[in-house]
Chains A and B, each alone.
Chain A
Amino acid sequence: MARGEVLLETMKLTRRYGPVVALDALDLKVRAGECVVMMGPNGSGKTTAAELISGLLEPSDGRAEICGHSIHQEPAAVAARRDLAYVPDTPYLYDDLTVSDHLRLVAAAHGVGDQDLNVRSEALLERLDLVDRAAFFPRQLSRGMRQKTAIACALIRPFQVLVVDEPIAGLDAASVNVFREVLLECRKARRAVLLMTHSDAFASTVATKMLQIQEGRLVGS
């Protein structure tokens, strides 16, 4: 992967809800080795942007590409989904799967072999302080623990682009530090990161570029 290659690109990405424009023609490029942080007040369009880029929402207009593949158009979306890891602001987890089951499922979904899975899940659970909770179901976990499970699910498989929406909400200080290390390691490994957060202090320690979003529009960097 050449340094500077665009891994995530949005072109006039727009989402409307009736007369309300939640995201207005977002043009964005995130290159390999970059960590772009998007900041803005509540309701400014950060989560809408993250969900559009991850393919959970359909755009009203425009497009989003991961490593040159559209995330909304099958069959190109298959390749886009392979290269994209997403951590949503609400950790969606299966009620009937334990923490380690979640990691096994994601590994199967992304073609991670058994040996890799064992080594990586052990390391991730340890770093995220989830070893004791590996056999727990989501309802037995606190909000922060569920968030860490969602982060572990994103990190268990290979990815080129990481999109993270409010990752540190509900995390303790130690876990915030681990997550900071993750983002810095992503930069070092020349992955592209798009981070949505409210925390100025956290953003300034990991960002290569900071963007301000307001009423669905980028207003400055």
Chain B
Amino acid sequence: MSPPGLVAAIPERDGVAVDTRYLLAVSRALHPGRSWGAFAQTIYTAAFAFGLAVVLFWSLWKRVAYYLVDVASPYHIFWGAAAVALILLAAVRYSTLQGFVTYSEADCLFLLSAPVPRRELIRPRLRRVTLALAVGGAIIGLLASLASGGLAAGAGRMAEGAVAGAALGIIIVAAGWHVQRLPAALTWVLRLTIPALGLVALLALADRRGGTAHLAMLWSGPWGWGLLSLGSSNWASGLAGVLLLCALATTGWASVRRSAGDAAVEGFLARAQTRSQMVAAVYAFDARSVMLTTRRPWAERWRARLRFRPPRRPDLAVPWHGSLVLLRSPLRLGWGIVLAGAGALLLAAQPGRTGASWAGAVALYLSASSLAEPLRLEVDRAATSATLLPWRFGKILQMHCLVPVTILLTTGLIATMVGWAAGFVEARTVWALAILAVPLVSVVVLAAALSSRRGGRLPQQMLLMGAGDSTGLTVFVLVGWIFGWAIFAVAAVALTALVLARPSALLQAVLLVAGLLGVVAAMLWRLLLGSKR
């Protein structure tokens, strides 16, 4: 017999019949990690851990239940509709990034590109996830009806709770699946997330009001229908709510079944690539890289058109780069400006009130941290600046601080002046802040820069220390590492607030604190200069 060629002969009959079940069986056999035994073991471990958590934290659960369940109220469960709406929103938002049906990159090439109807590959996974969420929803629904006095109301109400929970589970899968397979739905979810969060807040507000507002909230959508049966004295409205949910779940499941074969490989592949980057970042304890994998560069292409002329002075090249990055992230820039204005106003308007001062200090630090994003990007790609820019790394990071300092100073002073013009900031506070502004803002921005220059990855020594620590003290070291600079900056602002609240000898105190902050800022500036790639 002659040796076979490199190119396979085409079979005599027209096409090769491939049995999907046989293909899936071979795939399962080759991937031992996906066996039923391993799946059962995962379920067992999860159930065991859940049981253990219930027993260990029983008193905590009781306290949570005390806050959320009020048997004296006619509706018994607080924020139920808002919580359900939030879960629905989280599910569709999750589906923009991953989704309930996912495949690996290799699956996209070998499994989804096999000559079998794609719906036959996808449907079993959809069935499994729907079953899991329906069962999970039923259990939660049952527990919710028990918490709202289900035993007293009888088995009917408990059954209604379980059915409503199961229906909600199916609706969540259906909504997630359609977001996953339809690019237009995905875009709308991304656009409408913030308005939807506003709706959730409204639902939470309406929940406490009772009467017509509460009733309207319960009937306003699937988030409230399941709750109609909980604690409602009118059994008919409860039944109507559950029937509405069942109708929606049936329609949803039918549409999922029908569209199982319509999903493009492209979506699965993009999700697989995102997931592998994210998993790598999680294993490296790199929180920033995890966050960066959730960004969608193609959604930001239009921003490339935003540009302005680079400066003639070389010293301004880095601030120009920083300004461009911030202008191309209008949401971040706007958020930074709002926080800076609010922080300055809180500090100036009520320097004597501790709560307002702390809130102002936190807002100022968050603003500085938000505006330090160009610096963080520089840290992410430290090798780039080494090849493109002539300065040492610390100097580049220093130059990245100029734009945030300018924005914080300008916004803070404008907000304070507006407050003074409106009559709720005293004149003496305005001039005191005018003296303190430069050193104070410098300290806050430099602290944010020093925090950001470390990137998102935890140092290896800390991980090793955590692994070998039996005292539990590593948690404090960890918290200090993450929040140390933030605490430092907030303390500096709080010190300023103390001075502003002084009834007498204000000038001397202001000059003293300004000098002190100036020295601290100079030290931080020097510390930043010593940064290494």
Contacts and interface: CB of A to CB of B under 8 A. Distances in A.
A185 B110 contact: no
Contacts of A186: 7
Contacts of B36: none
B357 to A, nearest CB: 45
B302 interface: yes
Contacts of A124: 6
B4 A94 contact: no
A38 B339 CA distance: 53
A148 interface: no
Contacts of A157: 8
B26 A56 contact: no
Contacts of A109: 18, 23, 110-111, 114-116
B10 interface: yes
B265 A108 contact: no
Interface centre among B22, B27, B262, B298 (most CB of A within 10 A): B27
A220 B269 CA distance: 32
Nearest to B27: A105
Nearest to B24: A108
Contact of B6 (A108, A119, A155): A155
Interface residues of A, number: 55
B264 interface: yes
B269 to A, nearest CB: 6
Contacts of B264: 58, 72
A120 B301 contact: no
A152 B48 CA distance: 45
A156 B106 CA distance: 16
A167 interface: no
A96 interface: yes
A127 B6 contact: yes
Nearest to A108: B26
B477 interface: no
Given A58-B266, A78-B116, A104 B30 contact: yes
Contact of A86 (B10, B30, B113): B113
Interface in B188-203: none
A52 to B, nearest CB: 10
A163 B33 CA distance: 32
A181 B7 CA distance: 10
Contacts of A155: 6-8
Interface string B79-123: 000000000000000000000000011111111011111110000
A189 B26 CA distance: 30
Nearest to A74: B261
Contacts of A159: 8
Contacts of B105: 92
Nearest to B113: A81
Contacts of B114: 81, 109-110
A56 B108 contact: yes
B5 interface: yes
B79 to A, nearest CB: 39
A69 B31 CA distance: 32
B11 interface: yes
A109 to B, nearest CB: 4
A153 B347 CA distance: 66
Interface stretch (A15-23, A169-177, A199-207, A211-219): A15-23
B118 to A, nearest CB: 6
A123 interface: yes
Contacts of A104: 26, 30
Given A81-B115, A101-B30, A191-B7, 15 more contacts: A19-B301, A20-B301, A54-B113, A56-B113, A88-B109, A94-B107, A96-B33, A108-B23, A109-B18, A109-B114, A111-B17, A123-B4, A158-B8, A178-B6, A185-B6
25 contacts: A18-B302, A56-B265, A56-B266, A74-B117, A74-B262, A77-B118, A79-B15, A81-B115, A82-B18, A92-B106, A94-B104, A97-B30, A102-B110, A104-B26, A104-B30, A105-B110, A108-B27, A109-B116, A110-B16, A110-B114, A111-B18, A116-B8, A123-B6, A159-B8, A191-B7
